[in-house]
Structure 1
Amino acid sequence: LQWMRARWTSDPCYAFFGVDGTECSFLIYLSEVEWFCPPLPWRNRTGAVPSPPPPPPPQAAFRRDLARLLELIGTGKESLSFMKKRIRHLAQQWLRAARRLEQKLAGRQRDQKHILIHIGFLTEESGDVFSPRVLKGGPLGEMVQWADILAALFMLGHSLRVTVSLKELQSHLGVPPGRGNCPLTSPLPFDLIYTDYHGLQQMKQHMGLSFKKYRCRVRVIDTFGTEPAYNHEEYATLRGYRTNWGYWNLQPTQFMTMFPHTPDNSFMGFVSEELNQTEKQLIKANKVSSMAVVYGKEASIWKGKEKFLAILNKYMEIHGTVYYETQRPPEVPAFVKNHGLLPQHEFQQLLRKAKLFIGFGFPYEGPAPLEAIANGCVFLQARFNPPHSSLNHEFFRGKPTSREASVSSQHPYAEDFIGKPHVWTVDYNNSEEFEAAIKTIMRTQVDPYLPYEYTCEGMLERIHAYIQHQDFCTTSSLPPSPKTKTPAMQSPPSPLALAPNSTHLVWSPSAGGAPRAWPPVASLQVWLSEPQHTCTETCRRRGLVCEPTFFSFLNKEEVFLQLSIACDSTEYEMNHLYPAVAEHVRECYLQKEPLLFSCAGYNPKYRRLCPCRDFRPGQVALCRDCL
Structure 2
Amino acid sequence: GVDGTTCSVLTYLSQTEDFCPPRDGRNHSSLPWHQKPQAISNNSSPAMKFIRSRVEKMSERWIQAGLRMKESSNNTVSTQMRVLLYPGALSGSVGQRFEAMVERGGPLGELVQWADLSACLTILGHNLIFSTSQHQLHSLIGAAPGRGSCPIQRPLTFDLIYTDYHGLAHLQGAMGLAFKHYQCRFRILDSFGTEPAFNFASYARSHGYKTLWGSWDLQPLQYMTMFPHTPDNSFLGFVSEGTVRKGSELEPVSYKKDRIAVVYGKQDYMWQGKYEYVKVISEELETHATVYQPPGHTLHLPSLIRNHGLLTQEHFQQLLRKAKLFVGLGFPYEGPAPIEAIGMGCVFIQPRFDPPHSSASNDFYKGKPTTRQISSQHPYAEEFIGKPYVWTVDVTNKSDIREAVKAILRSEVKSFTPQEFTCVGMLKRVLGYITHQVQRCKKAQACPELETPGTPTSLLTKNFKSVPTWPPKSALRVHLAPLGQSCVSVCRRSSLMCEPALFHHLNTPAAFTRLGLSCASVLPELNHLFPSYSPWGRQCGLQQEPLLFSCVAICLDCL
By the TM > 0.5 criterion, same fold? yes
Distance 1:325 1:457 in 2: 40
> Deviations for 1:17-72, whole angstroms, at most 9, x for unmatched residues?
3545xxxx99xx8xx98xxxxxxxxxx9999xxxxxxxxxxxxxxxxxxxxxxx97
Distance 1:185 1:72 in 2: 21
Offset of 1:450 from its aligned partner? 0.3
Select the residue among 83, 86, 98 that pairs with 2:54. 86
Match of 1:504 in 2: none
What is the 5 A alignment of 1:378-457?
Answer: 378-403=347-372, 405=373, 407-457=374-424
Cα 1:257–1:108 change in 2 (3 A) is closer
2:426 counterpart of 1:474: no
8 Å Cα contact 2:145/2:174 also seen in 1: no
What is the 5 A alignment of 1:76-475?
Answer: 76-106=44-74, 109-273=77-241, 274-276=243-245, 284=254, 286-288=256-258, 290-326=259-295, 329-403=298-372, 405=373, 407-471=374-438, 474-475=441-442
Cα 1:412–1:108 change in 2 (3 A) is closer
Higher mean displacement: 240-249 or 575-584: 575-584
What is the 5 A alignment of 1:496-507?
Answer: none
Match of 1:496 in 2: none
8 Å Cα contact 1:283/1:353 also seen in 2: no
8 Å Cα contact 1:118/1:195 also seen in 2: yes
Match of 1:58 in 2: none
Distance 1:109 1:140 in 2: 32
Match of 1:598 in 2: 550
Offset of 1:574 from its aligned partner? 1.0
Cα 1:212–1:379 change in 2 (3 A) is same
8 Å Cα contact 2:255/2:414 also seen in 1: no
Offset of 1:109 from its aligned partner? 4.1
Cα 1:109–1:348 change in 2 (3 A) is closer
Distance 1:573 1:186 in 2: 36
> Deviations for 1:201-257, whole angstroms, at most 9, x for unmatched residues?
011111111101000111111111110000000100000100111100000000100
> Deviations for 1:114-135, whole angstroms, at most 9, x for unmatched residues?
1111111111254432222222
Match of 1:508 in 2: none
8 Å Cα contact 1:385/1:408 also seen in 2: yes
8 Å Cα contact 1:570/1:587 also seen in 2: yes
Match of 1:492 in 2: none
Distance 2:3 2:266 in 1: 58
Offset of 1:473 from its aligned partner? 6.3
Cα 1:73–1:156 change in 2 (3 A) is farther
Higher mean displacement: 176-185 or 83-92: 176-185
2:484 counterpart of 1:532: yes
What is the 5 A alignment of 1:7-86?
Answer: 17=14, 19-20=16-17, 74-86=42-54
> Deviations for 1:353-403, whole angstroms, at most 9, x for unmatched residues?
111111111111001000100000111111111211112111111111111
Cα 1:191–1:525 change in 2 (3 A) is same
8 Å Cα contact 2:90/2:98 also seen in 1: yes
> Deviations for 1:531-563, whole angstroms, at most 9, x for unmatched residues?
121111111111111111110011111222211
Higher mean displacement: 528-537 or 94-103: 528-537
Higher mean displacement: 257-266 or 597-606: 597-606
Normalised by the length of structure 1, the TM-score is 0.78
Offset of 1:585 from its aligned partner? 3.2
8 Å Cα contact 2:160/2:185 also seen in 1: yes
Per the alignment, in what secondary structure is the counterpart of residue 527 of structure 1? coil
Match of 1:582 in 2: 534
Match of 2:512 in 1: 560
Alignment-mate amino acid for residue 432 of structure 1: S
8 Å Cα contact 2:264/2:328 also seen in 1: yes
Offset of 1:516 from its aligned partner? 7.3
> Deviations for 1:73-92, whole angstroms, at most 9, x for unmatched residues?
82221110110110111111
Distance 2:174 2:410 in 1: 59
Higher mean displacement: 371-380 or 467-476: 467-476
Alignment-mate amino acid for residue 576 of structure 1: H
8 Å Cα contact 1:176/1:185 also seen in 2: no
Distance 2:46 2:90 in 1: 10
Offset of 1:568 from its aligned partner? 1.9
Distance 1:192 1:580 in 2: 35
Distance 2:322 2:11 in 1: 64
Per the alignment, in what secondary structure is the counterpart of residue 283 of structure 2? helix
Alignment-mate amino acid for residue 410 of structure 2: R
Match of 2:29 in 1: none
Match of 1:494 in 2: none
> Deviations for 1:235-287, whole angstroms, at most 9, x for unmatched residues?
00000100111100000000100000111000000101212469x99963510
Per the alignment, in what secondary structure is the counterpart of residue 161 of structure 2? strand
Match of 1:618 in 2: none
* Relative contact order, higher structure (CA 8 A, sep 6+): 2
Cα 1:530–1:107 change in 2 (3 A) is closer
Per the alignment, in what secondary structure is the counterpart of residue 384 of structure 1? strand
8 Å Cα contact 1:73/1:80 also seen in 2: no
Offset of 1:14 from its aligned partner? 10
8 Å Cα contact 1:302/1:331 also seen in 2: no
8 Å Cα contact 2:88/2:95 also seen in 1: no
Alignment-mate amino acid for residue 201 of structure 2: E
8 Å Cα contact 1:217/1:473 also seen in 2: no
Match of 1:549 in 2: 501
8 Å Cα contact 1:228/1:598 also seen in 2: yes
Cα 1:74–1:298 change in 2 (3 A) is same
Distance 2:298 2:479 in 1: 53
Per the alignment, in what secondary structure is the counterpart of residue 459 of structure 1? helix
Match of 2:36 in 1: none
Larger Cα-atom Rg: 1
Distance 2:495 2:195 in 1: 22
Residue ranges of structure 2 left out of the alignment (5+ in a row): 27-38, 444-466
Higher mean displacement: 583-592 or 242-251: 583-592
Cα 1:73–1:546 change in 2 (3 A) is farther
8 Å Cα contact 2:290/2:311 also seen in 1: yes
2:541 counterpart of 1:571: no
Per the alignment, in what secondary structure is the counterpart of residue 516 of structure 2? coil
